[in-house]
Amino acid sequence: MSSFLYRLGRTAVRARGLVLAIWLFALLAMGTLASTFNQGTDDTFAIPGSESQDALDYLGRVFPEVSGALAQLVLVVPEGQRVDTAQTEAAVSAAVERVKGVSQVATVADPAVSADKRATLVAVPLTVDLAQVTPATKSDLSAIAADLAATVGDGAQVYTGGDAFSNRVPKLSPTEATGLVIALIVLLLTFRSIVAAVMPLLTAVLGVGIAIGAIYLGTLVTPISSTAPMLAVMLGLAVGIDYALFLLSRHRDQLAEGLDVEESIARATATAGSAVIFAGLTVVIALLGLAVAGIPFLTTMGVAAAVAVGLAVAIAVTLVPALLSFAGGSLRPRTKKRARRPRIAQRWVRAVTRAPLVTVLVVVAGLAVCALPAAGLRLALPDNGTEAEGSQARTAYDVVADHFGPGYNGPLIVTADIITSTDPVGLVDKIAAELRAIPGVASVPLATPNPKGDTGIIQVVPASAPDSPETEKLVTALRGKEKHFLDAYGTRTAVTGITAVGIDVSAKLGGALLPFGVLVVGLSLILLAMVFRSVWVPIKATAGYLLSVGASFGATWWVFGQGHLAELLDVTHTGSVISFLPIILMGVLFGLAMDYEVFLVSRIREHYVHHGDPAQAIESGFISASRVVVAAAVIMFAVFAAFVPEGSATIKPIAFSLAVGVFVDAFLVRMTLVPAVLALLGHRAWGLPPKLDRALPVFDAEGDTLVHELRLADWPGTDEAISARDLRLHDDRGRPVYADVGIRLPRGAVLVLHGPGPTGKTALLMTLAGRVTAHKGDLKVLGRVLPQHAHALRRSVAVARCHEDPDPSTVVNAALDDGVDLVLLDDVDLVLRTDARAALRDILARRRTAAGRHVSVVLTCQDPDRVRDLLPEDTHLLTLAASPAEVP
């Protein structure tokens, strides 16, 4: 990965104009296509396969009048007046007749009068769902409402509301720009350069622009909720700025050390870019993991956000290097970094590691207490009660709740299959009578068969608000009557309606949290084990992530559920949080937490690998990484927090929970708990069991392999077939297989590896062939650094096992014909047949091929005297000492 990114960085530098043009064209093209072809967002939340959704879909076919969106007209007269006068009733009747003629109106329910006689509610079912309600329909209904108010007079007011008048599409406001302003200030303080500070903002905004265009273009093929673009904006800005920051910081550090611009950009792309790809990959996988819930709108939301994150990664490793090239030497710090260590970071890491057990206990206990409020977490989909105060839909919602009761804002529908009944009207009335007696039912205003007489519709108004636990219990009670109605009347019933769909969605999402959590936790353990080659580091990182998630849930419910600080944060509705908040928070915060973990702990691990002192590694790694991690965390916190004050009811809690999660994870977990835990573990923090080490692929998130490759770029100074220095290998028990091996084999030469018994000959041969890659030390074979380029090397190497093939000359000749440059023969002293030895001797004698290549040969045997007749005069011999084990 790092080698590929190194080449990509150089390519971006040399083709910087083309790279910039491609990204600008992508922005222009995506914006044009999206504005031309987008179908708009769709906030119809559905959960296929649930009872409520199946019943709602069925109603759409047999009784469409009650399956679409609902509009409401609410007439309210001043204190001391009544709506049941003849004049007012006549005015309402006239308005109802006008409403029936409005486009998209399915029917008009009989007006309902409130208990205090001051309000009349006219329910207007529409033939379409919320996404298809036209502005003309809303305008006509509003005009009728205004005329009705004028006709009644004497201070009467008519409010229009219902789902049809809701406006849940989140919009950007000037407040969100404060996040970018804070990000700019942080970048200026970090880099003290206007060019360096502005660059991450520009690339992040460009990536978000392309992502939003792609999302709206996606509405051509699938419904996308209005939350998806806003979530993509939040994540795209946050990670886009941070990823560019990581590359830019590494580039400036390298410039300060004296590297030239092109080489520094290539190395920054390879090292910091590797970490960016790892961090972005974890976020993308977690977002795509939202599909675990099996809810289409949530899956599309995850895909949309993943597109924004993926674009941020692509821009970071292509456009950012190109822009760095345009900036040239202007980004080089004016003075070299002072040798003295930053005092604040040094004092902090020493303080938290002075008594590490105390630090761990305090942080864990504190975050556990912060998570306690999450025990009462309630999930619900947004309704008009979550709209902004003063909005048309919210005002009507509050008026209905005040005069009729909260349940009128979320009526339930009970469907009954009455196709076999000889008295459909009587059957529906009997079922309605039983439903009225269920605790929690405020009224049953409608009970009627559909026009075909095969389906009964019974509207049930709860006594509680749509998102209350009491309404959820009522839905459960209504569904519990299904068997009774089947036994008593031979009819099947189902409970549906917008409120029931919302309850089912919330239940499905709540049930998906555990499998999604297992997926995320398991993924983090595997990925971090790949990166850090450790058992305890992944466990510690995952435990810290869970603490961050718990504290974020607790803080979110403390504000949005219990109402603390609600007025300060402009939270107008409390008692529930949006259903998909927990699963989105878990997915997004997972990726961000792994981001900080990689950038902090990789520096610590790098120092430990080089010096072997765990305490010194913690301090040195923390000091070198803390500045960038702090800047990245502050920027991400600011971007998320900026969406809270003026954010919609859908985005506000998500933004708040992410802001809290980032703050907790970056400052309390990664920069406080992590150093303390590593100090407690000491040397035990680093290392994998050998079998697991070999089984896990290597993900070089900090570009260590590239650093190793660049270090060996000019070594050994001559073009040799094999160059090895301090080469060593250990078995599963940590015993040396071979050690302190040094080889300098010229092109076209022959090398014999020999030694009696288990000396590691075969293991060393397989190492030279690129088959064994767990070795340590420096090794180049045919100009390729191993183990980094083991796969590429294998095409140029042929291996013959003489204990399996008594005549290896056939294999060798075939390999030479295929263009092989290195032939490896294991156990050549087992070639006993005279003709086979003669053929092999002939091959070794004329190693120059017809194409003029000089083929190198490496043999293994126990005693070189047994194969002396096969060897040319310029053969090199390497004696291997006996070892306790040999890898086959």
Backbone phi, psi, residue 456, to 5°: -95, 140
Q: Are 211 and 159 in contact (CB under 8 A)?
A: no
Both tokens of 156, joined, read 């009467």
Per residue in 738-781, pLDDT tens?
988 999 999 888 999 998 877 889 999 999 999 888 888 999 99
Cβ contacts of 18 within 8 Å, gap of 6 or more: none
Q: Which of 22-26, 203-207, 584-588 has the lowest mean pLDDT?
A: 584-588
Q: Among residues 845, 837, 853, which one has the least CA distance to residue 875?
A: 845
- Domain limits, the chain: 2-38+171-376+504-685, 65-165, 412-496, 712-879
Q: Determine the Cα–Cα distance for residues 297 and 316; give it in Å rounded to an integer.
A: 29
Q: What pLDDT band is residue 130 in, cutting at 50, 70 and 90?
A: confident
CB count, 10 Å around CB of 441? 18
Query: What average pLDDT does range 94-113 have in this prediction?
Result: 89
Q: Is 195 exposed, middle or buried (CB count within 10 Å of its CB: 0-12, 13-18, 19+)?
A: middle
Cβ contacts of 358 within 8 Å, gap of 6 or more: none
Phi-psi region of 290 (alpha: psi -120 to 50; beta: other; left: phi over 0): alpha
Both tokens of 198, joined, read 């502005």
Phi-psi region of 438 (alpha: psi -120 to 50; beta: other; left: phi over 0): beta
Per residue in 172-187, pLDDT tens?
667 778 888 998 999 9
Q: Are 662 and 235 in contact (CB under 8 A)?
A: no
End-to-end CA gap in the chain: 29
Q: Are 305 and 232 in contact (CB under 8 A)?
A: yes
Q: Are 505 and 498 in contact (CB under 8 A)?
A: no
Which is more confident, 160 or 497?
Answer: 160
Q: Are 856 and 823 in contact (CB under 8 A)?
A: yes
Q: Quote the percentage of the chain above a pLDDT of 70.
A: 95
Q: Are 671 and 634 in contact (CB under 8 A)?
A: no
DSSP class per residue in 648-660:
-TTHHHHHHHHHH
CA R_g for the chain: 36
CATH of domain 65-165: 3.30.70.100
3-state secondary structure at position 32: helix
> Peptide bond preceding 64: is omega within 30 degrees of 0, i.e. cis?
no
Q: Which of 20-29, 433-442, 505-514 has the lowest mean pLDDT?
A: 505-514
Give the pLDDT of residue 77.
Answer: 92
Predicted confidence (pLDDT) at residue 288 exceeds the cutoff of 70:
yes
Q: Are 187 and 203 in contact (CB under 8 A)?
A: no
Q: Which of 303-312, 457-466, 695-704 has the lowest mean pLDDT?
A: 695-704
Q: Determine the Cα–Cα distance for residues 107 and 305; give it in Å rounded to an integer.
A: 40
Predicted confidence (pLDDT) at residue 392 exceeds the cutoff of 50:
yes
CATH of domain 412-496: 3.30.70.1320
Both tokens of 182, joined, read 């804070």
For residue 187, the Cα-to-chain-centroid distance in whole angstroms is: 25
For residue 310, the Cα-to-chain-centroid distance in whole angstroms is: 10
Q: Determine the Cα–Cα distance for residues 521 and 548; give it in Å rounded to an integer.
A: 13
Q: Quote the percentage of the chain above a pLDDT of 90.
A: 36
Q: What pLDDT band is residue 339 in, cutting at 50, 70 and 90?
A: very low
Fold designation for 712-879: Rossmann fold (3.40.50)
Q: pLDDT averaged over the chain?
A: 86
3-state secondary structure at position 776: strand
Q: Among residues 601, 616, 615, which one has the least CA distance to residue 536?
A: 601
Q: Determine the Cα–Cα distance for residues 569 and 563; give it in Å rounded to an integer.
A: 10
Max avg pLDDT among 11-20, 252-261, 506-515? 11-20
Residue 754 pairs in a beta bridge with 861, 879
Q: What pLDDT band is residue 340 in, cutting at 50, 70 and 90?
A: very low
Q: Among residues 378, 376, 374, 397, which one has the least CA distance to residue 386?
A: 397
Max avg pLDDT among 128-137, 476-485, 588-597? 476-485
Backbone phi, psi, residue 326, to 5°: -60, -40
DSSP structural state of residue 854: B
Q: What's the one-letter identity of residue 152?
A: V
Q: Which of 157-171, 219-233, 237-251, 577-591 has the lowest mean pLDDT?
A: 157-171
Q: Which of 404-408, 698-702, 709-713 has the lowest mean pLDDT?
A: 698-702
Q: Determine the Cα–Cα distance for residues 766 and 786; give it in Å rounded to an integer.
A: 12
Residue 743 pairs in a beta bridge with 724
Alpha helices in 15-83 (DSSP H): 16-37, 51-62
Max avg pLDDT among 58-72, 349-363, 411-425? 349-363
Residue 74 pairs in a beta bridge with 121, 159
Residue the block writes with tokens 């989105």: 584
Q: Which of 185-194, 510-519, 820-829 has the lowest mean pLDDT?
A: 510-519
Both tokens of 135, joined, read 């502005």
Give the pLDDT of residue 888.
Answer: 34
Give the pLDDT of residue 370.
Answer: 95
Both tokens of 704, joined, read 């260590």
Give the pLDDT of residue 295.
Answer: 81
Q: Is 507 exposed, middle or buried (CB count within 10 Å of its CB: 0-12, 13-18, 19+)?
A: middle
Q: Determine the Cα–Cα distance for residues 553 and 373; give it in Å rounded to an integer.
A: 8
Query: What average pLDDT does range 123-133 have in this prediction?
Result: 83
Instruction: Quote helix, strand, coil % in the chain, to nearest 5.
Output: 60, 15, 25
Per residue in 817-850, pLDDT tens?
888 889 999 988 888 888 888 888 887 787 665 4
Q: What pLDDT band is residue 804 in, cutting at 50, 70 and 90?
A: confident
Q: Widest CA span of the chain, in angstroms? A: 124
Q: What pLDDT band is residue 127 in, cutting at 50, 70 and 90?
A: confident
Sheet arrangement for strand 876-879: 797-801, 822-826, 856-861, 750-754, 876-879
Cβ contacts of 721 within 8 Å, gap of 6 or more: 745, 746, 747, 748, 749, 781, 782, 821, 822, 856
CB count, 10 Å around CB of 393? 24
Cα–Cα distances in Å, from 635 out to 178, 286, 287? 11, 22, 21
Q: Determine the Cα–Cα distance for residues 601 and 536; give it in Å rounded to an integer.
A: 12
Q: Are 200 and 248 in contact (CB under 8 A)?
A: yes
Backbone phi, psi, residue 120, to 5°: -125, 130
Backbone phi, psi, residue 856, to 5°: -95, 150
Domain pair 65-165 / 712-879, same fold: no
pTM of the model: 0.78
Q: Is the dihedral of CA 30, 35, 37, 38 positive or negative?
A: positive
Give the pLDDT of residue 372.
Answer: 95
Q: Determine the Cα–Cα distance for residues 741 and 417; give it in Å rounded to an integer.
A: 83
DSSP strand pairing (379-380 vs 577-578): parallel
Q: Determine the Cα–Cα distance for residues 257 and 266; give it in Å rounded to an integer.
A: 15
Q: What pLDDT band is residue 702 in, cutting at 50, 70 and 90?
A: low
CB count, 10 Å around CB of 19? 21
DSSP class per residue in 180-192:
HHHHHHHHHHHH-
Both tokens of 14, joined, read 């040399």
DSSP class per residue in 285-339:
HHHHGGGGG--HHHHHHHHHHHHHHHHHHHHHHHHHHHHHHHHGGGGS-SSPPPS
